[in-house]
């Protein structure tokens, strides 16, 4: 006999059973209906792409193949996609004749080779929505509106969520000004110190400061700011300076900015964002480089469009603290935040937080074509959103099956099947019991599966032309003495005999009770 | 500037755009509704499993990792799943408390590292349905009924499809008897010759004939029979003998049976299968070993259940020529065949053929647990079925979008957005044009996307409180002189002006025309 295989899941993967599956399907269907109402079209791309297509856009990753599942096929490096955006960029470069603006949505699994943990899987579902081929700010505004409408379609009320918008160009312009608080030589020294601290193994003491390296330094400043909600303003200041030691004792080296340079950044992060108007006013008073001014103009356009469309601050807000870690964003960025309360690992009440986000990325297709193509979009983390959605769904039956036709007298299987067929024909989801267990075990099976009604027919009933119906739900309630049904229902029996010819009507009657 | 990436798909993979995606979704929804009406529950398993979990059950494959996408993670061999059955077996072994019989369905992609070709992809979708935990033949019959109902739900009429059923036990019993036409010594020589012909590099001339090797030889006989529809009865006879050279000149070595041994097999394959009753009669007259008799009894039970449930020979037939290549089947096997006509590569009319199949596999969970667990089920090849389904769907709109609100006067974007919002509120799928092109290009965009109605509002119309509606579909028909609309429709204008306040009603009116 061959060696037995171990029945186990690879680390970071999971099975999704009926109840969760159906709930997710229901949620995705509702979101999809909103997306489609705006003219977004579905797209599906393969799970496998060339590593070259995926590029190196994972947050906080320097290596092209770090964090992905890669393998060689036909002597070429393939990998499981880690997001849906890289594939969309490839498609835009391959299919030049797609009418633009191209509004598309895509939902599906992505894979990341990261350390799994509670609620952190190596395979998870993203639901993306993007508009490609238009640089109009109305596209960014529309994405935010669609996200807002989607959350409301799921039952999240005004005040339970907010889409927070900021602009990377404003951050860019702010950092330009901040860095200018220092002469050229000291700026070059800062970048060299930052680089050496990050790469312990740099042998050459003389670092050449290229524009690429300056850009990387700037991105690192943004990533540091992006940590705000986790490490607080004091933590951000430490990372913008020499570095920060976290609770576990790990030291993360910093960006080597001076106090003078950090001050305008901190001022910006503390901006009054209680309304879009106040944010715009506040930013208008800050010193910004040209790119920053452009970003401000863009957010004014978005505000105008949103206000015209009736989306106020409670639904879509401007927020100076939104950065979004990914390096490829080029303009507005947005974050989908649920403000409902939940509990953290330690049981402490906390805000549910981010369930997705996105932004504009006009340069992503350029990797393939050498030319810019305007694009903006967002990605929803389906698993996190589902977690919140569950709290909104009050009644989710364990199974869709409404009736179990039990089998007491196996030789008469065809007669039992006939009953099941009649019920199905009346759109009642019906299972015929096809195991070999006795009747007691059959009703236990129905209870275990959460099936509310059992049909029981033995020899006597066959002879009398009758069937017995068991209301298992009511039976369980009566047995436990707990029922929230009204008095009328309580008066109904949990078990009854009806004529065989009245089977369907009687089942409908019991279903109507619930 | 960094090296440009090539925008291309890995070999054997593809993108699925809106039209095909929606058609597939529609088809899957219809099948799923049938599955659920019988109480089958959805399940989702990860794309990635341990190679050990997948086992070596690919048809005609000896190596455990041939034909799969495998890679090492955490020093363990992982792979993309190549079917959905191995994962189901793992789940049954891991979750002993699932109420049984467990009826589940699963739809999703699977991956096979095979040579891609026209219509042959390395990533394709399977739709599986299985019942685990019951050995009753009624389960096999029910699977066939569900498959039959599913095809009818898709619009395939009686006579356009048939579920063909056979039993591996009967084939087993038949081969036992066939092999007995020869003494022990010559049988051992046959198996040795078969083995040596298949493995040119066998050094040892003395082959030990183990029960495993005898079993492999038997499976190879079955696989040879399974080639019947591709190579015909003469081809099968050649492979059952020394071997067969195909049209390309390739030689495939055979099973080394004698004429005496082949005769009963050929007789069986030529059995009259014009009705289930005739098949059962015919098999009843054939000499079979004990296991073969058991198989006959099982098919009698299936026939009885199907007849009682009203599923006649036109829907579910018995067919002696059905084998199914997979080695793990242990009882009834079934094949889903579309009998509608299609054209082959050369444009010649031919029967559409198989779109899926399955069978009973009572030993698959045993790989993990050491104990048998009854299981039966089928898999539908979604891509092939979709190809056939397309011929059934007469009207598939290119896009779901019904209205494009064009933008002539960009500063009034908020007013255009307001029109789009009103239309959406009336459940009309509406796009707001968010590109920068002039109005002529905007209606071209609508035409390219297949959007039937354009709303056009310029300064004059704004001032007059009016909007212009363009019926692009009718316009195109009138322009081409080809229209199948009735006279009334022809009398309608392809362009009209209505009051702004009557926008929604007027759009509804045009949509009702179609």
**Closest partner CB to A370 (pick from B4, B13, B435):** B4
Contact between A54 and A81 under an 8 Å Cβ cutoff? The reply is yes
Q: Which two three-digit tokens encode residue A254?
A: 């910093």
Spell out which residues of chain A touch residue B86, defining contact as CB-CB under 8 Å. Answer: none
Class of residue B170 by CB neighbours under 10 A (exposed 0-12, middle 13-18, buried 19+): buried
- pLDDT value of position B476: 79
CB contact under 8 A, A50 and B8: yes
CB contact under 8 A, B434 and A101: yes
**Closest partner CB to A99 (pick from B39, B78, B449):** B449
- pLDDT value of position B321: 94
**Closest partner CB to B138 (pick from A52, A404, A434):** A434
- pLDDT value of position B345: 78
Q: Which residue blocks in B353-428 are alpha helix, DSSP H?
A: 366-369, 382-390, 413-425
From 3.40.50.2000, 3.90.230.10, 3.60.70.12, 3.30.930.10, which CATH number describes the A18-176+258-390 domain?
Answer: 3.30.930.10
The H or E element that residue B227 is part of is: none
What are the backbone dihedrals phi and psi of residue B69, each rounded to the nearest 5 degrees, phi first?
Answer: -90, 105
User: Which residue of chain A is at minimal alpha-carbon distance from B446?
Assistant: A99
**Closest partner CB to B399 (pick from A41, A136, A310):** A41
The strand pair at A243-245 and A251-253 is best described as: antiparallel
CB contact under 8 A, B136 and A436: yes
Spell out which residues of chain B touch residue A431, defining contact as CB-CB under 8 Å. Answer: 38-39, 103
Whether the predicted pLDDT of A244 surpasses 60: yes
Spell out which residues of chain B touch residue A7, defining contact as CB-CB under 8 Å. Answer: 53, 90, 93-94, 368-369
Q: Which two three-digit tokens encode residue A92?
A: 């835009």
Higher per-residue pLDDT: A187 or B240? B240
pLDDT in tens, chain B (514 residues): 457 899 999 999 999 999 999 999 999 999 999 999 999 999 999 999 999 999 865 554 444 457 899 999 988 999 999 999 999 999 999 999 999 999 999 999 999 999 998 889 999 999 999 999 999 999 999 999 999 999 999 999 999 999 999 999 999 999 999 888 877 788 888 888 888 888 876 666 677 888 888 888 988 999 999 999 889 999 999 999 998 998 888 898 899 999 999 999 999 999 999 999 999 999 999 999 999 999 999 999 999 999 999 999 999 999 999 998 777 899 999 999 999 998 887 889 999 999 999 999 998 899 999 999 999 999 999 999 999 999 888 766 667 899 999 999 999 998 999 999 999 999 999 999 999 899 999 999 999 999 999 999 999 999 999 999 999 988 877 777 665 555 545 556 788 999 999 999 999 999 988 6
DSSP B205: S
Minimal Cα–Cα distance from B10 to chain A, Å?
6
CB contact under 8 A, A424 and B38: yes
User: Which residue of chain B is at minimal alpha-carbon distance from A67?
Assistant: B73
User: Which residue of chain A is at minimal alpha-carbon distance from B23?
Assistant: A42
* Least confident interval from A131-135, A431-435, B214-218: B214-218
Which of the residues B3, B4, B7, B109 would you substitute to probe the A interface, choosing the one with the greatest number of A C-beta atoms within 10 Å?
Answer: B7
Spell out which residues of chain A touch residue B400, defining contact as CB-CB under 8 Å. Answer: 36, 39, 41
Cβ-proximal residues to A156 (8 Å cutoff; 6+ apart), any chain:
A338, A340, A388, A392
CB contact under 8 A, B134 and A436: yes
- pLDDT value of position B343: 84
Minimal Cα–Cα distance from B111 to chain A, Å?
9
pLDDT band of A61, cuts 50, 70, 90: very low
Among the listed residues A446, A483, A182, A140, the one whose alpha carbon sits nearest the alpha carbon of residue A318:
A140
* Least confident interval from A117-121, A277-281, B165-169, B313-317: A117-121
* Least confident interval from A175-179, A312-316, A477-481, B329-333: A477-481
DSSP-derived secondary structure for B229-274: HHHHHHHHHHHHTTEEE-TTS-EEE-----HHHHHHHHHHHT---S
Spell out which residues of chain A touch residue B44, defining contact as CB-CB under 8 Å. Answer: 15-16, 21
CB contact under 8 A, B69 and A74: no
CB contact under 8 A, A47 and B111: yes
Minimal Cα–Cα distance from B61 to chain A, Å?
17
The residue count for chain B = 514
If you average pLDDT over every residue of chain A, what do you get?
90
The domain segmentation of chain B, as residue ranges, is: 18-176+258-390, 403-513
Which of the residues B6, B25, B37 would you substitute to probe the A interface, choosing the one with the greatest number of A C-beta atoms within 10 Å?
Answer: B37
Which of the residues A48, A91, A412, A430 would you substitute to probe the B interface, choosing the one with the greatest number of B C-beta atoms within 10 Å?
Answer: A48
Minimal Cα–Cα distance from A402 to chain B, Å?
9
- pLDDT value of position A514: 66
User: Which residue of chain A is at minimal alpha-carbon distance from B402?
Assistant: A39
The H or E element that residue B378 is part of is: strand B375-381
Chain A, chain B: beta-carbon pairs less than 8 Å apart: 272
Note whether B18-176+258-390 and B403-513 share their fold.
no
pLDDT in tens, A379-429: 999 999 999 999 888 766 667 899 999 999 999 998 999 999 999 999 999
- pLDDT value of position A402: 94
Please give the average per-residue pLDDT across A431-439, as a whole number: 93
Q: State how far the Cα of A389 lies from the Cα of A180, in Å rounded to an integer.
A: 47
Which of the residues B35, B48, B91, B412 would you substitute to probe the A interface, choosing the one with the greatest number of A C-beta atoms within 10 Å?
Answer: B48
CB contact under 8 A, A417 and B123: no
Minimal Cα–Cα distance from B266 to chain A, Å?
33
Q: State how far the Cα of A227 lies from the Cα of B98, in Å rounded to an integer.
A: 43
CB contact under 8 A, B42 and A21: yes
CB contact under 8 A, B22 and A42: yes
CB contact under 8 A, B136 and A434: yes
User: Which residue of chain B is at minimal alpha-carbon distance from A42?
Assistant: B18
SS3 content of chain B, % helix, strand, coil (to 5): 45, 20, 35
Minimal Cα–Cα distance from B348 to chain A, Å?
32
CB contact under 8 A, B46 and A14: yes
Class of residue B447 by CB neighbours under 10 A (exposed 0-12, middle 13-18, buried 19+): middle
Spell out which residues of chain A touch residue B28, defining contact as CB-CB under 8 Å. Answer: none
Q: Give the C-alpha distances (Å, rounded to integers) separating A54 from A48, A58, A63, A68, A138.
A: 10, 9, 12, 9, 28
Contact between A375 and A80 under an 8 Å Cβ cutoff? The reply is no
The residue count for chain A = 514
**Closest partner CB to A401 (pick from B39, B71, B304):** B39
Class of residue A250 by CB neighbours under 10 A (exposed 0-12, middle 13-18, buried 19+): exposed
Whether the predicted pLDDT of A466 surpasses 90: yes
- pLDDT value of position A103: 96
Q: Give the C-alpha distances (Å, rounded to integers) separating B451 from A221, A369, A392, B52, B134.
A: 46, 29, 36, 51, 52
Cβ-proximal residues to B493 (8 Å cutoff; 6+ apart), any chain:
B471
- pLDDT value of position A60: 47
- pLDDT value of position B474: 83
Contact between A354 and A335 under an 8 Å Cβ cutoff? The reply is yes
- pLDDT value of position B480: 73
| CATH architecture of the domain with residue range A403-513 | 3-Layer(aba) Sandwich (3.40)
Spell out which residues of chain A touch residue B102, defining contact as CB-CB under 8 Å. Answer: none
% of chain A with per-residue pLDDT over 90: 70
Whether the predicted pLDDT of A488 surpasses 60: no
Exposure string over B352-380, b if 16+ CB within 10 A, otherwise e: bbbbbbbbbbbbbbbbbbeeebbbbbbbb
Minimal Cα–Cα distance from A268 to chain B, Å?
30
CA–centroid distance for A106 within its chain: 12
Contact between A284 and A132 under an 8 Å Cβ cutoff? The reply is no
Helix (H, G, I), strand (E, B) or coil at B148: helix
**Closest partner CB to B48 (pick from A13, A52, A53):** A13
Q: Give me the residue label for tokens 């310029």.
A: B458
DSSP B400: S
Please give the average per-residue pLDDT across A443-454, as a whole number: 92
């Amino acid at each position: 006999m061959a060696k037995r295989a171990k029945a186990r899941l690879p680390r970071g993967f999971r099975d999704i059973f009926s109840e969760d599956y159906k709930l997710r399907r229901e949620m995705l269907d509702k979101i999809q209906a909103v997306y489609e109402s705006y003219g977004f079209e579905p797209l599906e791309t393969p799970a496998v792409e060339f590593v070259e297509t995926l590029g190196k856009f994972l947050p906080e990753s320097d290596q092209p193949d770090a964090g992905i599942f890669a393998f060689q096929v036909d002597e070429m490096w393939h990998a499981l996609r880690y997001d849906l955006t890289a594939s969309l960029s490839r498609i835009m470069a391959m299919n030049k004749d797609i009418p633009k603006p191209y509004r598309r949505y895509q939902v599906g699994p992505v894979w990341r080779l990261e350390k799994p943990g509670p609620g952190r899987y190596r395979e998870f579902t993203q639901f993306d929505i993007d508009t490609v081929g238009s640089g109009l700010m109305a596209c960014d505004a529309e994405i935010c509106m669609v996200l807002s409408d989607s959350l409301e379609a799921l039952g999240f009320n005004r005040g339970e969520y907010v889409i927070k918008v900021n602009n990377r160009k404003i951050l860019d312009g702010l950092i330009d000004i901040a860095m200018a608080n220092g002469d050229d030589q000291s700026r070059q020294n800062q970048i060299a110190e930052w680089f050496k601290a990050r790469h312990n193994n740099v042998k050459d003491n003389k670092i050449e400061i290229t524009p690429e390296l300056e850009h990387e330094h700037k991105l690192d400043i943004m990533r540091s700011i992006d940590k705000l909600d986790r490490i607080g303003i004091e933590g951000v200041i430490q990372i913008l300076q020499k570095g920060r030691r976290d609770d576990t004792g790990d030291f993360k080296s910093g960006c080597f900015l001076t106090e003078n340079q950090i001050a305008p950044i901190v001022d910006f992060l503390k901006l009054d964002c209680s309304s879009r108007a106040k944010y715009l006013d506040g930013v208008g008073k800050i010193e910004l480089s040209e790119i920053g001014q452009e970003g401000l103009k863009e957010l004014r356009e978005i505000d105008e469009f949103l206000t015209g469309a009736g989306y106020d601050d409670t639904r879509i807000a401007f927020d100076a603290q939104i950065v979004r870690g990914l390096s490829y964003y080029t303009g507005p960025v947005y974050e989908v935040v649920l403000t409902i309360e939940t509990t953290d690992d330690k049981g402490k009440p906390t805000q549910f937080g981010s369930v997705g986000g996105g932004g504009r990325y006009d340069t992503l297709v350029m990797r393939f074509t050498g030319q810019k193509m305007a694009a903006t979009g967002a990605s929803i983390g389906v698993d996190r959103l589902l977690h919140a959605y569950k709290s909104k769904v009050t009644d989710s039956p364990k199974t869709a099956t409404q009736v179990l036709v039990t089998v007491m007298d196996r030789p008469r299987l065809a007669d039992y099947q006939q009953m099941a067929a009649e019920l199905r024909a009346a759109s009642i989801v019906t299972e015929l019991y096809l195991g070999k267990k006795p009747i007691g075990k059959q009703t236990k099976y129905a209870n275990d599966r959460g099936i509310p009604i059992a049909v029981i027919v033995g020899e006597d009933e066959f002879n009398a032309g009758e069937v017995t119906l068991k209301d298992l739900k009511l039976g369980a309630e009566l047995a436990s003495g707990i029922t929230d049904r009204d008095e009328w229902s309580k008066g109904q029996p949990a078990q009854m005999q009806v004529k065989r010819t009245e089977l369907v009507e009687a089942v409908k009657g019991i279903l109507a009770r619930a």
